[in-house]
Structure 1
Amino acid sequence: MSHFRIYIPTRTLFGTGMVKELHNQQLPGKKAMIVISNGRSTKDNGYLNTVESELQQAGVETAVFDQVEANPLKSTVMAGAAFAKENNCDFLVALGGGSVMDASKAMAFMATNPGDVWDYISGGTGKGQTMVNKPLPLVCITTTAGTGSEADQWGVITNDETNEKIGFGGYDELFPVLSIVDPELMKSVPAKFTAYQGFDALFHSTECYISKTASLMSDMYALTAIENVAKYLPRAVANGADMEARERVAFANNLSGAVMTFCSTTAEHSLEHAMSAYHQDLPHGAGLIMISKAFYEFFIEKHACDERFIKMAQAMGMPDADKPEDFITMLVNLQKACGVANLKMSDYGFTPDEFDTLATNAKETMGGLFLANPYELKHEDCVEIYRKSFR
């Protein structure tokens, strides 16, 4: 509890309107590859034009790569790395949500390193090779409040050929050199995705708070994030133009990203990564919501860390909480307030006969997170969490 190490070298600009400060920043190159999603929102809402104009004012040329999908694929990473090299880009600007930022980190890495990105993945069929060359520098401009990827040196990549979704990175050189968190860019996120992303941020912190790797410092980050998500996410879902709510959820998300740089999440993320590895259309946050109640109930039933669940319930707005089950009450209440309490795995094509495969996949691809659980989670326990979550 008293030992921790922190290194977060990213310069962060936080607040409404901060994207307009981009041209005043010291940028790491003269030609930027701007990475966006394969959807239309970044272009239609004018965010791409704004960033291009800001970079132009700074004397930076640009080339746009617009192929990143939700749950970014290995093939897309390699295409982006090739694009960066073909266009002689000397840094990347990730403009989008977690998928865009995650993919951009891997593209920046593969633009300078030989082979395939899966050569550098540890876990599953990855070869676990180490970095050869320093990656291209990365600037992150986040348009969502969910993954906290603008604050850390990690990303998650999916190999659709092998149904593996695994964390990539961990190198100090993959921290963004600059991140802009401008809640104004989040106003257009639809209500249901605001909820999915907000719960992703919440679970980064709830997992870190019950993690074996928790410390005095991570507790401070995690509890502050939990408090802000619980209080302001329902408002952001109800009214996307509520800028106070957007700002507070974005703040919580940034904290939840930072806390993962010196504290580990738990197997809740492993279990969900397996789900979306097999069902590409499942939003990550939605998958986490689906399994969350059963996941946390497992540790509460084992009395793994009762006081920590009580403190989280208090942070979520129940000051007189006195039993770990109060956390489940507050979690379900928050899901109801955000309209996501009745998500169904079956709506995304899941069937109960998959649960054994998913449980195996979770441990084989992201087994390291199981080590942070406050109580041992066995294969049959994972299957039971899926079973209890299934609707």
Structure 2
Amino acid sequence: MNFSYYIPTRILFGKGQLSNLSAQELPGKKAMIVTSCGGSMEKYGYLARVQEQLKKAGVDYAVYNKILPNPIKDHVMEAAQLVRETGCDFILGLGGGSSIDSAKAIAVMAPNTGDYWDFISGGTGKDITPPVDPLPVVAITTTAGTGTEADPWTVITKSETNEKIGGGYDKTFPVLSIVDPDLMMSVPPVLTAYQGFDALFHSTEGYLNNTANVMSDMYALKSIELIGKSLAQAVHHGDDQQARADVALANTLAGMVESTSGCISEYSLAHAMSALSPQLVHGAALIMISREYYTRFIEMGACPERFVQMAKALGKADACRPMDFVDALVSLLESCGVDGLKMSDYFSLEDLKAISQNSRDTMGSLYSKDPMVLSAEDELIVLKKSYK
């Protein structure tokens, strides 16, 4: 019953909440709007709506729209310089996890000198605490996958060394987040699935994490329940408002799991995969290894009752054995049409050792959070069994 709880973000959740942005006490007079390079924010009118809300609030803005699906350090540094040049005093991340993660990293670098990797722990990072506090961040999420609107974490890749590492601390929590399911109706089916499983695994990892506590458990089980109930419906019927709202809430709850518990080695492995193959979507990487990853822990005898509880939350009401969770997971993968993803589309068998090594070199600290010790040999077994 011992836990530390700190989530300082004001969250506006629900249909139509974007229209309430102008009524909020915004943290500055000029925003740097950070969004992706894909053009969807313009296509669907989300950027224009945010700009309209800022104007209504008397807030000026500039726009940085180069963020990649797997965001890179070079863009963080470039955007931070633009923030200084344009006199922006807060950052507004608009889009999916990549845009909001980048917004947090840009907020760190805008008032600080040096290189972003100076402030990263792991890999070649220097693990320095930023001497100047980050600029405030406002998050407006248009996807349901990372939960970054409710946690302090940001994942950025250093391209020249293939290091994809999470960073963040108490001061990189967004001060305000808007979670409006209306903004998620345009997400294509396959991305809805990838993002939904990303949220699911944040919750399952947080539930199995050896730092799990009564607060994180509460958020995790509810998030798992909502995804089991509504993800397939959101994938196949993207205009279903209730399904979209359920998955959006599951995602925000998963971010709260990240804030009160955290990820385990599955997360590190998936990041290593997309660090070595940047075109691989993070959620897809997680899906590829998930079945064998959780099976391995069950075979090792890790926390059997927790696997049973996750199976029940995922919808298998009569679950009584740990493998019921894997069965329920596979059923959901099939229902969402993503059970056939192939690692061989991105990697050769010879790449598996490099994935394992990268995982431990960059975010190896997550292995200490596993429910049981996962050796390098165990890890390779998971990767080899997942390979197809």
Normalised by the shorter chain, which TM-score bucket? Answer: over 0.9
Letter of the aligned partner of 2:314 in structure 1? M
Write out per-residue CA displacement over residues 65-121 of structure 1, whole angstroms, 9 at most, x where no aligned residue. 000001100101101101111111000110000000111100000001110001111
Whole-Å separation in 2 of the counterparts to 1:61 and 1:371:
45
Whole-Å separation in 2 of the counterparts to 1:33 and 1:94:
8
How far did residue 283 of structure 1 move? 0.3
Partner of 1:104: 103
SS of 1:366 mapped into structure 2: helix
Partner of 2:131: 132
Whole-Å separation in 1 of the counterparts to 2:40 and 2:98:
14
RMSD: 0.6
SS of 2:143 mapped into structure 1: coil
How far did residue 217 of structure 1 move? 1.3
Residues 1:323 and 2:328 are matched in the alignment = no
How far did residue 317 of structure 1 move? 1.0
Partner of 1:366: 363
Partner of 1:307: 305
Matches within 5 A, 1:215-230: 215-230=213-228
Whole-Å separation in 2 of the counterparts to 1:280 and 1:258:
27
Whole-Å separation in 2 of the counterparts to 1:186 and 1:272:
24
Q: Which runs of 5+ in 2 are unaligned?
A: none
Partner of 1:388: 385
Partner of 1:34: 33
Write out per-residue CA displacement over residues 265-318 of structure 1, whole angstroms, 9 at most, x where no aligned residue. 110000001000000000000000000001000110011111110111111111
Whole-Å separation in 2 of the counterparts to 1:217 and 1:109:
28
Partner of 1:64: 63
Whole-Å separation in 2 of the counterparts to 1:365 and 1:134:
25
Whole-Å separation in 2 of the counterparts to 1:256 and 1:48:
26
Whole-Å separation in 2 of the counterparts to 1:376 and 1:135:
36
Residues 1:357 and 2:357 are matched in the alignment = no
How far did residue 47 of structure 1 move? 0.2
TM-score (norm 1): 0.98
Letter of the aligned partner of 1:387 in structure 2? K
Whole-Å separation in 2 of the counterparts to 1:113 and 1:262:
28
Matches within 5 A, 1:123-162: 123-162=122-161
How far did residue 44 of structure 1 move? 0.5
How far did residue 320 of structure 1 move? 0.9
Does the aligned pair in 1 maintain the 2:30–2:87 contact within 8 Å?
Answer: yes
Write out per-residue CA displacement over residues 14-44 of structure 1, whole angstroms, 9 at most, x where no aligned residue. 0010000000000011111101100011000
Letter of the aligned partner of 1:269 in structure 2? Y
How far did residue 218 of structure 1 move? 1.0
Partner of 1:46: 45
Whole-Å separation in 2 of the counterparts to 1:4 and 1:243:
35
How far did residue 357 of structure 1 move? 1.2
Partner of 1:55: 54
How far did residue 382 of structure 1 move? 1.2
Whole-Å separation in 2 of the counterparts to 1:15 and 1:53:
19
SS of 2:161 mapped into structure 1: coil
User: In percent, how many aligned pairs have the same letter?
Assistant: 54
Does the aligned pair in 1 maintain the 2:117–2:126 contact within 8 Å?
Answer: yes
Whole-Å separation in 1 of the counterparts to 2:379 and 2:76:
30
How far did residue 200 of structure 1 move? 0.3
Letter of the aligned partner of 1:302 in structure 2? M
Write out per-residue CA displacement over residues 104-158 of structure 1, whole angstroms, 9 at most, x where no aligned residue. 1000000011100011111001111111001111100000000000001110010
Does the aligned pair in 1 maintain the 2:288–2:343 contact within 8 Å?
Answer: yes
How far did residue 381 of structure 1 move? 1.3
Letter of the aligned partner of 1:313 in structure 2? A
Does the aligned pair in 1 maintain the 2:216–2:256 contact within 8 Å?
Answer: no
Whole-Å separation in 1 of the counterparts to 2:206 and 2:48:
37
Whole-Å separation in 2 of the counterparts to 1:16 and 1:51:
15
Whole-Å separation in 1 of the counterparts to 2:206 and 2:125:
26
SS of 2:259 mapped into structure 1: coil
Whole-Å separation in 1 of the counterparts to 2:167 and 2:316:
37
Letter of the aligned partner of 2:160 in structure 1? E
SS of 1:261 mapped into structure 2: helix
